[in-house]
Structure 1
Amino acid sequence: MINQEITEHQKRLEQFLQHLESARQLEDDIMKYGLEAADLYFEDIDGDWLETWGDDDDEPGYIEKLTTFLESDDVVAVEVRERLQDKSLDEIIGGLEYCLSQLKEEDRIFAAKDFLFGDVVVSESCRASGNSSYIDEVELLALAEDLMERLKEILG
Protein backbone atom coordinates (compact mmCIF):
# COMPACT_ATOMS: atom_id res chain seq x y z
CA MET A 1 0.00 0.00 0.00
CA ILE A 2 2.75 2.43 0.94
CA ASN A 3 4.75 1.45 -2.14
CA GLN A 4 1.72 2.17 -4.32
CA GLU A 5 1.29 5.62 -2.77
CA ILE A 6 4.94 6.41 -3.26
CA THR A 7 4.71 5.17 -6.83
CA GLU A 8 1.65 7.35 -7.48
CA HIS A 9 3.44 10.39 -6.04
CA GLN A 10 6.56 9.60 -8.06
CA LYS A 11 4.52 9.28 -11.27
CA ARG A 12 2.79 12.58 -10.65
CA LEU A 13 6.12 14.25 -9.88
CA GLU A 14 7.66 12.82 -13.06
CA GLN A 15 4.72 14.04 -15.14
CA PHE A 16 4.98 17.48 -13.57
CA LEU A 17 8.70 17.63 -14.30
CA GLN A 18 8.08 16.58 -17.91
CA HIS A 19 5.48 19.32 -18.33
CA LEU A 20 7.81 21.83 -16.72
CA GLU A 21 10.62 20.85 -19.07
CA SER A 22 8.28 21.14 -22.08
CA ALA A 23 7.22 24.60 -20.97
CA ARG A 24 10.85 25.66 -20.53
CA GLN A 25 11.68 24.34 -23.99
CA LEU A 26 8.75 26.27 -25.48
CA GLU A 27 9.88 29.43 -23.72
CA ASP A 28 13.44 28.96 -24.98
CA ASP A 29 12.21 28.38 -28.54
CA ILE A 30 10.06 31.50 -28.42
CA MET A 31 13.00 33.54 -27.15
CA LYS A 32 15.28 32.02 -29.80
CA TYR A 33 12.98 32.02 -32.85
CA GLY A 34 10.29 34.56 -31.98
CA LEU A 35 6.97 34.00 -33.70
CA GLU A 36 8.61 31.48 -36.02
CA ALA A 37 8.68 29.08 -33.04
CA ALA A 38 5.02 28.35 -33.77
CA ASP A 39 6.16 26.43 -36.86
CA LEU A 40 8.02 24.03 -34.58
CA TYR A 41 4.91 23.15 -32.61
CA PHE A 42 2.02 23.34 -35.07
CA GLU A 43 1.49 21.62 -38.38
CA ASP A 44 -0.21 23.53 -41.18
CA ILE A 45 -0.09 26.82 -39.31
CA ASP A 46 -0.48 28.78 -42.53
CA GLY A 47 -3.46 26.71 -43.70
CA ASP A 48 -7.12 27.70 -43.67
CA TRP A 49 -7.90 25.81 -40.45
CA LEU A 50 -9.29 28.89 -38.73
CA GLU A 51 -11.66 29.75 -41.58
CA THR A 52 -12.92 26.17 -41.82
CA TRP A 53 -13.18 25.59 -38.07
CA GLY A 54 -16.39 23.69 -37.39
CA ASP A 55 -17.38 23.25 -41.05
CA ASP A 56 -17.24 19.49 -40.72
CA ASP A 57 -19.46 19.42 -37.66
CA ASP A 58 -22.97 18.16 -38.30
CA GLU A 59 -24.13 19.02 -34.79
CA PRO A 60 -25.23 22.60 -34.14
CA GLY A 61 -22.95 24.73 -32.01
CA TYR A 62 -23.42 26.26 -28.60
CA ILE A 63 -25.10 29.47 -29.79
CA GLU A 64 -27.34 27.61 -32.23
CA LYS A 65 -28.51 25.29 -29.45
CA LEU A 66 -29.27 28.24 -27.16
CA THR A 67 -31.10 30.05 -29.95
CA THR A 68 -33.15 26.99 -30.89
CA PHE A 69 -34.11 26.47 -27.25
CA LEU A 70 -35.09 30.11 -26.71
CA GLU A 71 -37.20 30.15 -29.89
CA SER A 72 -38.93 26.89 -29.01
CA ASP A 73 -42.33 26.32 -27.40
CA ASP A 74 -40.68 24.81 -24.32
CA VAL A 75 -42.50 26.02 -21.19
CA VAL A 76 -39.27 27.32 -19.64
CA ALA A 77 -38.20 29.08 -22.85
CA VAL A 78 -41.60 30.76 -23.18
CA GLU A 79 -41.47 31.95 -19.58
CA VAL A 80 -37.93 33.29 -20.06
CA ARG A 81 -38.98 35.18 -23.20
CA GLU A 82 -42.00 36.65 -21.41
CA ARG A 83 -39.89 37.62 -18.42
CA LEU A 84 -37.22 39.26 -20.61
CA GLN A 85 -39.46 40.63 -23.36
CA ASP A 86 -37.58 43.95 -23.40
CA LYS A 87 -34.30 42.19 -24.29
CA SER A 88 -33.18 40.97 -27.69
CA LEU A 89 -32.33 37.34 -28.30
CA ASP A 90 -28.63 38.24 -28.42
CA GLU A 91 -28.87 39.97 -25.03
CA ILE A 92 -30.62 36.96 -23.54
CA ILE A 93 -28.00 34.59 -24.93
CA GLY A 94 -25.24 36.84 -23.59
CA GLY A 95 -26.84 36.80 -20.16
CA LEU A 96 -27.25 33.04 -20.22
CA GLU A 97 -23.63 32.60 -21.27
CA TYR A 98 -22.60 34.69 -18.27
CA CYS A 99 -24.76 32.57 -15.97
CA LEU A 100 -23.34 29.35 -17.38
CA SER A 101 -19.80 30.64 -16.94
CA GLN A 102 -20.12 30.54 -13.16
CA LEU A 103 -18.10 27.70 -11.66
CA LYS A 104 -20.52 26.48 -9.01
CA GLU A 105 -24.01 25.30 -9.88
CA GLU A 106 -25.63 27.36 -7.12
CA ASP A 107 -23.83 30.47 -8.42
CA ARG A 108 -25.22 29.75 -11.88
CA ILE A 109 -28.73 29.48 -10.50
CA PHE A 110 -28.50 32.73 -8.54
CA ALA A 111 -26.91 34.52 -11.50
CA ALA A 112 -29.79 33.27 -13.67
CA LYS A 113 -32.33 34.44 -11.08
CA ASP A 114 -30.74 37.87 -10.99
CA PHE A 115 -30.63 38.00 -14.78
CA LEU A 116 -34.29 37.03 -15.00
CA PHE A 117 -35.15 39.64 -12.40
CA GLY A 118 -33.55 42.23 -14.65
CA ASP A 119 -31.41 43.96 -12.04
CA VAL A 120 -28.14 42.48 -13.10
CA VAL A 121 -25.56 44.16 -15.23
CA VAL A 122 -24.09 41.00 -16.70
CA SER A 123 -20.47 42.11 -16.87
CA GLU A 124 -20.41 43.56 -13.35
CA SER A 125 -22.73 41.14 -11.51
CA CYS A 126 -24.58 43.90 -9.66
CA ARG A 127 -27.65 42.86 -7.66
CA ALA A 128 -30.39 45.20 -6.58
CA SER A 129 -33.37 43.08 -5.64
CA GLY A 130 -34.48 45.10 -2.64
CA ASN A 131 -37.93 46.11 -3.93
CA SER A 132 -39.18 42.69 -5.04
CA SER A 133 -41.59 40.55 -3.10
CA TYR A 134 -40.61 37.28 -1.51
CA ILE A 135 -43.02 35.33 -3.74
CA ASP A 136 -41.50 36.85 -6.87
CA GLU A 137 -38.03 35.91 -5.63
CA VAL A 138 -39.10 32.30 -5.02
CA GLU A 139 -40.77 32.08 -8.45
CA LEU A 140 -37.69 33.49 -10.12
CA LEU A 141 -35.46 31.08 -8.26
CA ALA A 142 -37.63 28.15 -9.39
CA LEU A 143 -37.56 29.41 -12.98
CA ALA A 144 -33.79 29.88 -12.78
CA GLU A 145 -33.36 26.31 -11.51
CA ASP A 146 -35.57 24.97 -14.31
CA LEU A 147 -33.69 27.06 -16.87
CA MET A 148 -30.26 25.88 -15.75
CA GLU A 149 -31.48 22.28 -15.71
CA ARG A 150 -32.84 22.60 -19.28
CA LEU A 151 -29.63 24.22 -20.49
CA LYS A 152 -27.58 21.45 -18.88
CA GLU A 153 -29.69 18.89 -20.78
CA ILE A 154 -29.42 20.78 -24.06
CA LEU A 155 -25.74 21.74 -23.93
CA GLY A 156 -24.47 18.62 -22.22
Structure 2
Amino acid sequence: MAIEIERKFLVNTNLLPQLENGKKLTQGYIWNESNKSLRIRITDTKSFLTIKSGNNPLCRSEFEYEIPMTDAKELLRLCDTKIEKTRYLIPIENHTWEIDIFEGKNQGLIIAEIELSSEKESFFLPKWINKEVSQESKYLNVELIKHPFTEWREG
Protein backbone atom coordinates (compact mmCIF):
# COMPACT_ATOMS: atom_id res chain seq x y z
CA MET A 1 0.00 0.00 0.00
CA ALA A 2 1.26 3.50 -0.89
CA ILE A 3 1.22 6.03 1.95
CA GLU A 4 1.35 9.76 1.29
CA ILE A 5 2.84 11.80 4.11
CA GLU A 6 2.32 15.43 3.28
CA ARG A 7 2.52 18.66 5.25
CA LYS A 8 0.74 21.81 4.12
CA PHE A 9 1.52 25.42 4.89
CA LEU A 10 0.18 28.86 4.13
CA VAL A 11 2.64 31.13 2.37
CA ASN A 12 3.85 34.69 2.90
CA THR A 13 3.73 35.77 -0.74
CA ASN A 14 5.93 38.81 -0.07
CA LEU A 15 8.84 36.49 0.75
CA LEU A 16 8.33 33.91 -2.02
CA PRO A 17 11.12 33.70 -4.59
CA GLN A 18 10.32 34.30 -8.26
CA LEU A 19 8.19 31.37 -9.42
CA GLU A 20 8.90 29.91 -12.85
CA ASN A 21 7.75 27.05 -15.05
CA GLY A 22 4.42 26.42 -13.36
CA LYS A 23 2.20 23.58 -14.50
CA LYS A 24 -1.52 24.10 -14.85
CA LEU A 25 -3.53 21.40 -13.03
CA THR A 26 -7.25 20.70 -13.35
CA GLN A 27 -8.84 18.12 -11.11
CA GLY A 28 -12.23 16.85 -10.09
CA TYR A 29 -13.66 14.14 -7.88
CA ILE A 30 -15.77 11.24 -9.13
CA TRP A 31 -16.60 10.41 -5.53
CA ASN A 32 -15.80 12.26 -2.37
CA GLU A 33 -16.59 10.95 1.09
CA SER A 34 -15.16 11.87 4.48
CA ASN A 35 -12.45 9.20 4.42
CA LYS A 36 -12.01 8.28 0.75
CA SER A 37 -12.00 9.90 -2.66
CA LEU A 38 -11.44 9.18 -6.33
CA ARG A 39 -9.76 12.05 -8.17
CA ILE A 40 -9.06 12.79 -11.81
CA ARG A 41 -6.16 15.17 -12.48
CA ILE A 42 -5.01 16.58 -15.80
CA THR A 43 -1.71 18.41 -16.31
CA ASP A 44 -0.34 19.85 -19.55
CA THR A 45 0.83 16.48 -20.83
CA LYS A 46 -0.32 13.76 -18.42
CA SER A 47 -3.43 12.62 -16.61
CA PHE A 48 -3.97 10.55 -13.49
CA LEU A 49 -6.60 8.66 -11.56
CA THR A 50 -5.95 8.79 -7.81
CA ILE A 51 -7.64 7.00 -4.94
CA LYS A 52 -7.02 8.40 -1.45
CA SER A 53 -8.27 7.04 1.86
CA GLY A 54 -7.82 7.73 5.54
CA ASN A 55 -8.98 10.18 8.20
CA ASN A 56 -5.59 11.75 9.00
CA PRO A 57 -4.90 14.71 6.65
CA LEU A 58 -1.17 14.33 7.33
CA CYS A 59 -0.89 10.66 6.38
CA ARG A 60 -3.25 8.87 3.98
CA SER A 61 -3.23 5.92 1.64
CA GLU A 62 -2.74 6.99 -1.95
CA PHE A 63 -2.91 4.98 -5.16
CA GLU A 64 -2.15 6.95 -8.33
CA TYR A 65 -2.23 5.68 -11.90
CA GLU A 66 -1.46 7.44 -15.14
CA ILE A 67 -4.36 7.10 -17.57
CA PRO A 68 -4.89 8.12 -21.20
CA MET A 69 -5.69 11.82 -21.64
CA THR A 70 -8.89 11.05 -23.57
CA ASP A 71 -10.16 8.93 -20.66
CA ALA A 72 -9.26 11.62 -18.13
CA LYS A 73 -11.08 14.33 -20.08
CA GLU A 74 -14.18 12.15 -20.29
CA LEU A 75 -14.03 11.34 -16.56
CA LEU A 76 -13.49 15.01 -15.69
CA ARG A 77 -16.76 15.79 -17.48
CA LEU A 78 -18.51 13.62 -14.85
CA CYS A 79 -17.33 15.93 -12.07
CA ASP A 80 -19.77 18.63 -10.97
CA THR A 81 -17.03 21.02 -9.87
CA LYS A 82 -13.32 21.26 -10.52
CA ILE A 83 -10.24 22.75 -8.94
CA GLU A 84 -7.81 24.68 -11.09
CA LYS A 85 -4.40 25.72 -9.92
CA THR A 86 -0.87 26.31 -11.08
CA ARG A 87 1.85 24.30 -9.38
CA TYR A 88 5.43 25.48 -9.01
CA LEU A 89 8.29 23.33 -7.73
CA ILE A 90 11.02 24.72 -5.48
CA PRO A 91 13.85 22.31 -4.61
CA ILE A 92 15.38 23.00 -1.19
CA GLU A 93 17.99 20.67 0.27
CA ASN A 94 16.69 17.07 -0.04
CA HIS A 95 13.04 18.00 -0.70
CA THR A 96 10.92 19.65 -3.33
CA TRP A 97 8.28 22.12 -2.19
CA GLU A 98 5.11 22.31 -4.28
CA ILE A 99 3.54 25.76 -4.36
CA ASP A 100 -0.09 25.69 -5.51
CA ILE A 101 -1.68 28.95 -6.59
CA PHE A 102 -5.41 28.34 -6.83
CA GLU A 103 -7.78 29.87 -9.36
CA GLY A 104 -11.54 30.18 -9.81
CA LYS A 105 -13.56 29.74 -6.62
CA ASN A 106 -10.35 29.13 -4.67
CA GLN A 107 -8.53 32.20 -6.00
CA GLY A 108 -6.43 33.90 -3.37
CA LEU A 109 -5.39 30.65 -1.72
CA ILE A 110 -1.72 29.69 -1.95
CA ILE A 111 -0.55 26.46 -0.32
CA ALA A 112 2.96 25.05 0.00
CA GLU A 113 3.22 21.27 0.35
CA ILE A 114 6.11 19.00 1.13
CA GLU A 115 6.04 15.20 0.90
CA LEU A 116 8.02 13.29 3.50
CA SER A 117 9.12 9.70 3.96
CA SER A 118 7.93 9.65 7.60
CA GLU A 119 5.85 11.84 9.89
CA LYS A 120 8.94 12.53 12.01
CA GLU A 121 11.27 13.40 9.12
CA SER A 122 13.01 16.75 9.60
CA PHE A 123 13.15 19.35 6.85
CA PHE A 124 14.19 22.94 6.28
CA LEU A 125 11.39 25.47 6.72
CA PRO A 126 11.87 28.34 4.21
CA LYS A 127 11.36 31.94 5.36
CA TRP A 128 8.29 32.26 3.10
CA ILE A 129 6.33 29.70 5.14
CA ASN A 130 3.69 31.40 7.24
CA LYS A 131 1.57 28.82 9.12
CA GLU A 132 1.17 25.04 9.07
CA VAL A 133 -2.32 23.84 8.15
CA SER A 134 -1.63 20.10 7.73
CA GLN A 135 -4.24 19.06 10.30
CA GLU A 136 -6.88 21.49 9.03
CA SER A 137 -8.97 19.42 6.63
CA LYS A 138 -10.55 22.50 5.02
CA TYR A 139 -7.26 22.95 3.11
CA LEU A 140 -7.50 19.53 1.46
CA ASN A 141 -8.41 19.74 -2.23
CA VAL A 142 -11.23 17.30 -1.64
CA GLU A 143 -12.73 19.81 0.83
CA LEU A 144 -12.00 22.86 -1.33
CA ILE A 145 -14.29 21.33 -3.97
CA LYS A 146 -17.20 21.40 -1.50
CA HIS A 147 -16.29 24.59 0.39
CA PRO A 148 -14.22 26.91 -1.86
CA PHE A 149 -11.86 29.43 -0.35
CA THR A 150 -13.75 32.46 -1.73
CA GLU A 151 -16.83 31.37 0.24
CA TRP A 152 -15.07 31.12 3.61
CA ARG A 153 -16.12 33.62 6.22
CA GLU A 154 -13.63 35.05 8.64
CA GLY A 155 -14.15 34.51 12.32
Task: Tell me the TM-score normalized by structure 2.
Answer: 0.22
- Structure showing greater relative contact order (alpha-carbon pairs closer than 8 Å, 6 or more residues apart): 2
Larger Cα Rg: Structure 1 or Structure 2? 1
More strand by share: 2
Task: Tell me the TM-score normalized by structure 1.
Answer: 0.22
More helix by share: 1
